[in-house]
Amino acid sequence: MPQAPTMFAAAHHHSPASRPAPAQEPPGQKSLILHIAQDGLRCYRARMFDDEGHVGSATQHATLHEAICWYGQSAPVAGVQAFRIWYGGWCAGSFGRDRMEREAHEIADRLLVLALVER
């Protein structure tokens, strides 16, 4: 049976406050939103959100993929297993922390392409 091509889910919203419908999570797993913004050359600010607002402190990273990988390796909130990743007004979808760590470059590249399409 031929496999359907893998599609990368993307949604665009002009405001991080405009959130997509909650992702379907397996029971017992917690998912947060990871919003990454570029603050300057080699300066990316990453923040976490839950359904009620900002969670924890913002972190600074030199690259987009470094931010994704860091949250995959060391989610600073206990019990978080996945993040919905936003950059430049685009949501790439939900990713488990292990996948964020392994595929940080690919996720970052896709988000950069989506953000460039907007321009």
Question: pLDDT, tens digit, for every residue of 34-75?
Answer: 999 999 899 999 999 998 899 989 999 999 999 999 999 987
**Tokens found for residue 79:** 């019990």
All residues at 6 or more sequence positions from 29 whose CB lies less than 8 Å from its CB, including other chains:
81, 82
Query: Does the domain formed by 30-118 have CATH 3.30.420?
Result: yes
Domain locations in the chain?
30-118
Q: What is the pTM of this model?
A: 0.74
The Cα 89–Cα 72 span in angstroms is: 21
Question: Residue 102: what pLDDT?
Answer: 96
